[in-house]
Amino acid sequence: MTRKAGLAFSKVAVTVSVAAVIGASLFATHSNSDDAAAWRGAFARPSELPVPEGGPDTPAQVELGRTLFFDPVLSQSRTISCATCHEPSRHWGDGRMRAIGEPGIELKLRTPTLLNVGWFAPLGWDGKFPDLESVAFTPITGPNLMNLSEEELIARLRADPDYVSAFAATFEDRQVTRGGIERALAAFQRTIVSGSAPFDRWRDGDASAVEAPAKAGFALFNGKAGCHECHSGWAFTDGSFHDIGVGRDDDIGRGRLFPKSKGLQYAFKTPTLRDVAQRGPYMHDGSVATLREVIDLYDRGGIERPSRSPKIRPLNLSESEKADLLAFLATLTATEPKQKAASN
Ligand code: HEC
Ligand code: HEC
């Protein structure tokens, strides 16, 4: 967690980092009941939606944000909405190797899922966005993304009586403003929460919710394979940035923002593993096609270079251990609804 996230989302950030510490220390063995209670605590889902600085999102903000998120009026050509790339039915990604923007141009990056995005900051594969509000106008105005200027978007919304009355009813200044657009989109995105998965039911005490190979895979995840060192807590991410030894030579990730930091060269954001079995291809550049290939990459230890995380090393996993890890990852796919409204 960064300092910024700690300030903006203090309650949640504390819970997540305590969970990460418990997760890091105990998992190799969870044979006695204290350990079992601790691991259950470390992976407990939050009971509330995240609350931003400046107070909780209102239902009106969430609904206005939902309308904006799905409206192609946000793009120059009026054909691309946020949901074109962040599709609810594709777990809030697009299932592509790399995103395709407004003029049919392929971007360098894969579209990340928006699941649980309200709990983590900074955002973006390299962490260039300090918070959720600050993301929106980058895709809207990006020439290769939605390619619409701020002035034109505001003019379009001011010309639409439905938007004029929705902004008037939602914000104190009663106006269509950039700040209102950012707040409404962020409010809606804070309601995008991964649904309950078999793993959660097992964590809640239903021993039959997952099969034996997945249980063995969970022990490997927290033991020999060391995955929990970065994929920690209920959303299976530390919200931080690491070089795991993947990608191209000229693609230095967070190193662009921190040229002097050795450890941040080739570092990218740890993605959530919620719904991961359904969200391929993988990594910031979509360069790894299947989960099996992800496991093989970690087993080899990725590209060896000075910035590679000390937590990444060849793992010497057997075939059956790889199968167990895959079985565990499959238990993170939600079987309950993926999105909760702020009101329920
Ligand atoms: C053309 C496809 C495309 C469109 C349209 C698009 N996005 Fe994205 N989105 C991406 C890509 C690619 C990234 C990764 C960008 C980066 O890391 O620099 C991203 C990143 C994000 C993130 C950061 C997620 C994270 O986990 O770090 C958020 C939030 C987001 N987009 C919200 C939106 C919103 C809101 C809209 C509409 C205003 C939108 N996106 C439109 C492709 C798209
Ligand atoms: C040093 C921290 C670290 C460790 C340890 C680690 N990961 Fe990762 N993981 C990351 C980062 C960072 C990425 C994103 C890398 C990128 O996109 O270039 C990632 C990506 C992934 C992805 C792709 C997800 C997606 O949406 O693209 C999967 C799956 C994954 N890791 C599973 C695992 C498993 C299984 C283990 C244990 C064998 C593991 N990770 C160990 C940090 C880590």
What is the pLDDT at residue 316?
97
Terminal C-alpha separation, the chain:
28
Cα dist from 82 to 72, 147, 199, 200, whole Å: 8, 12, 30, 29
Kindly give the confidence (pLDDT) of every residue in the chain, 344 residues in length, as a single tens digit, with 9 standing for 90 and above. 333 333 333 333 333 333 333 344 444 444 556 676 788 889 999 999 999 988 999 999 999 999 999 999 999 999 999 999 999 999 999 999 999 998 788 999 999 999 999 999 999 999 999 999 999 999 999 999 999 999 999 999 999 999 999 999 999 999 999 999 999 999 999 999 999 999 999 999 999 999 999 999 999 999 999 999 999 999 999 999 999 999 998 999 999 999 999 999 999 999 999 999 999 999 999 999 999 999 999 999 999 999 999 999 999 999 999 999 999 999 999 997 644 433 32
- Regarding the beta carbon of 109 and ligand 1, being less than 6 Å apart is answered yes
CA dihedral 193, 196, 202, 206 (to 10 degrees): 140
Residue 13 CA, distance from chain mean position = 15
Which of 111, 236, 257 best tests ligand 1's pocket when mutated (most atoms within 8 Å of CB)? 111
- Regarding the beta carbon of 145 and ligand 1, being less than 6 Å apart is answered yes
Which ligand is closest to the CA of 282, given by its number? 2
Which of 86, 97, 149, 240 best tests ligand 1's pocket when mutated (most atoms within 8 Å of CB)? 86
CA 287 to ligand 1 centroid distance, Å: 18
Give the model confidence (pLDDT) of 54-113 as tens digits. 899 999 999 999 999 999 999 999 999 999 999 999 999 999 999 999 878 899 999 999
What is the pLDDT at residue 33?
65
Contact of 163 with 87, CB cutoff 8 Å: no
Mean pLDDT across the chain, nearest whole number?
Answer: 89
Count CB atoms within 10 A of the CB of residue 33: 8
Residue with CA at minimum distance from ligand 1 atom 30: 135
Structure tokens belonging to residue 115: 């699941």
CA dihedral 16, 22, 25, 28 (to 10 degrees): -100
CA dihedral 318, 323, 325, 331 (to 10 degrees): -170
Tell me, what amino acid is at 266? Y
Which ligand is closest to the CA of 80, given by its number? 1
Structure tokens belonging to residue 160: 């639409």
Q: Which atom of ligand 1 lies nearest, measured to the CA of 82? A: 37
Structure tokens belonging to residue 63: 């609904």
Contacts of 260 (CB under 8 A, 6+ apart): none
Contact of 242 with 311, CB cutoff 8 Å: yes
CA–CA dist 245, 224 (Å, integer): 19
- Regarding the beta carbon of 270 and ligand 2, being less than 6 Å apart is answered yes
CA–CA dist 72, 5 (Å, integer): 31
CA–CA dist 18, 210 (Å, integer): 26
Closest C-alpha among 216, 198, 207, 211 to residue 320: 216
Q: 71-76: which pairs have CB atoms within 8 A and are 24 or more residues apart?
A: 73/153, 73/156, 73/157, 73/160, 74/140, 74/146, 74/148, 74/153, 75/102, 75/140, 75/145, 75/146, 75/147, 75/148, 76/102, 76/146, 76/147, 76/148, 76/152
CA–CA dist 109, 52 (Å, integer): 27
Which ligand is closest to the CA of 228, given by its number? 2
Contact of 178 with 188, CB cutoff 8 Å: no
Residue with CA at minimum distance from ligand 2 atom 41: 227
What is the pLDDT at residue 40?
81
CA 132 to ligand 1 centroid distance, Å: 10
Which ligand is closest to the CA of 181, given by its number? 1
CA–CA dist 167, 230 (Å, integer): 40
CA–CA dist 52, 160 (Å, integer): 29
Residue 274 CA, distance from chain mean position = 9
CA 343 to ligand 1 centroid distance, Å: 25
Contact of 185 with 136, CB cutoff 8 Å: yes
Residue with CA at minimum distance from ligand 1 atom 20: 124
Contact of 237 with 272, CB cutoff 8 Å: yes
What is the pLDDT at residue 32?
59
- Regarding the beta carbon of 140 and ligand 1, being less than 6 Å apart is answered yes
